[in-house]
Homo-oligomer: A and B are copies of this chain.
Amino acid sequence: MQNLLSGLRIIEGSAFIAAPSGGMTLAQLGADVIRFDQIGGGIDYRRWPVTKEGRSLYWHSLNKGKRSIAVDFRQEAGRELLRDLITAQGENTGLFVTNFPARGWLADEELRARRNDLIFLNLVGDRHGGTALDYTVNSRVGLPFLTGDGETPVNNPFPAWDVIARQQIALGLLAAERHRRLTGEGQFIRLALADVALATMGHLGYLAEAEINQQSRPPIGNHVFGTFGHDFACRDGRRVMIVGVSPNQWKAIVSVTNSEQEIEKLEQAEELDFRNEGDRFAARDAIRLLFEPWFKARDFDEVCEQLDSAGVCWGPYQTIAELVQNDPDCSDDNPMFQRVEQPGIGEYLVPGQALEFSGFTREAVKPAPLLGEHTDEILHDILGLDSSAIGKLHDAGIVAGSNSDS
């Protein structure tokens, strides 16, 4: 937590990765993010990975630092409460993000009739209103054919498009809030996951390469496109990733592996100039073979030490278990991380926001709420209901507190 956005309130109705983590990003910058859930939890409340007790490490990781109100929004009275919450008046309120369909009780017209300057961000699958998930978008934009050896498509296990959309959500809300602060105008913002992927493929030049050069980029295994970079196995089997993008990075690799003469011979033989990174890419396989013996002759620890002292840009390959067990940057040595007690799960290492603001100290990283943990305080403080009215809502099963969370 860094309380940069203190005072700003966002209402969130969400599932899966992009929308909830968009809200979490703003919560970790100090905003008051209130997520509403169907009593008992939504579609992703028990998503894998789960603990032995069935608690979702996924859901709790994506909803840190928010407040929770549990409502039965299959009932009209529940919907009415949530519309009131979304459109509550105030200079720093009236921001709503959802990946639920923006129709029926959550139609923009319906909400905007109550608050004309509402900022409503709706995440959708594709621009036609169709469903799309990270994995179906990723197959469509061609990257699985660039991954691995290219014989069969290899999926990305990491949902990159969801994570990129998450940041776009936070950015879109802040950009619209700035505009509203200056002009008073609200906004309906639509973001299609498929468009996030398509735009990114254009921004990184993949589309232009296919159109102008009339070629799809070939699969290049573990090489880095357009420069020199590859993984190398050490004597003990552990691996490192080496990249030589800048002239200094390249020189450091050549120097640490004592390859100056062989590299010069290769340049002459191939009529290339390895000061140009494109030429390094063109000769990537020969260069890789040339460096390989140096790594094969040394154990990982010695390789690391020598790479560091030569100023090589490199990273170890490690499993996630090794990362968690051994890497000091993935521990509370790194001020971005804290050990947090998550009710129902226990204490574990939890990250805050990677952005570090000089004007703010890093406060305690907050866990995810229990479902309905803040139902009563939200009904009272924001909607102005008294305890008798709140009690009736509980009795009618329209809202629930955290005693319903199990």
Residue A249 is within 8 A (CB to CB) of chain B in the complex: yes
- Comparing A254-262, A287-295, A308-316, A380-388, the segment that makes contact with chain B is A308-316
A212 contacts which of B175, B212, B320, B346 (Cβ < 8 Å)?
A: B346
Interface residues of A in 193-240 (CB under 8 A from B): 194-196, 198-217, 219-222, 224-227, 229, 231, 239-240
Residues of B within 8 A of A56 (CB): 205
A277 at the interface (CB under 8 A from B): yes
Q: A315 and B202: CB pair below 8 A?
A: no
Cross-chain contact of A204 among B135, B163, B204, B319 (Cβ < 8 A): B163
Contact A359 B57 (CB under 8 A): no
Cβ contacts A129-162/B at 8 Å (1 or 0 each): 0011101111111111111100001111111100
A349 and B216 contact, CB distance less than 8 A:
no
From B57, B176, B200, give the contact of A209 (CB < 8 A). B57
A158 cross-chain contacts in B, Cβ below 8 A: 143, 146, 156, 160, 204
Selected from B146, B174, B195, B249, the residue in CB contact (under 8 A) with A131 is B249
- Counting every copy of the chain, the complex holds 2
- Asked if residues A353 and B199 are in contact (CB atoms below 8 Å), the reply is yes
Which one, A69-77, A81-89, A179-187, is touching chain B? A179-187
> Which of A33-41, A329-337, A390-398 lines the interface with chain B?
A329-337
A329 B194 Cβ-Cβ under 8 A:
yes
Total interface residues on A, using CB and 8 Å? 151
Question: What's the minimum C-beta distance from A27 to chain B, rounded to whole angstroms?
Answer: 11
A152 nearest CB across to chain B (Å): 8
Interface of A: prevailing SS: mixed
Q: Are B135 and A241 in contact (CB under 8 A)?
A: yes
A337 pairs with B202, CB closer than 8 A: yes
- The interface residues of chain B lying within 8 Å CB-to-CB of A318 are 139-140, 142
The reply to whether A217 and B49 contact each other, CB–CB distance below 8 Å, is yes
A213:B17 contact, CB within 8 angstroms: no
Q: Are B153 and A156 in contact (CB under 8 A)?
A: no
Query: Is the C-beta of A51 less than 8 angstroms from some C-beta in chain B?
Result: yes
- Are A175 and B176 closer than 8 Å at their CB atoms? no
Which B residues touch A159, using CB under 8 A?
204
- What 9 A-B pairs come out closest when comparing CB atoms? A48-B226, A136-B315, A167-B167, A202-B351, A142-B320, A139-B241, A199-B351, A188-B358, A160-B160
Minimum CB distance partner of A281 in chain B: B48
Q: Which residues of B contact A133 (CB under 8 A)?
A: 229, 243, 245, 313
Q: Does A375 contact B (CB under 8 A)?
A: no
Q: For the complex, is A164 an interface residue (Cβ under 8 Å from B)?
A: yes
Measured in the bound complex, the distance between the Cα atoms of B390 and A277 in whole Å is 35
Are B206 and A315 in touch, CB under 8 angstroms? Answer: no
Q: Which of B25, B57, B156, B241 contacts A136 (CB 8 A)?
A: B241
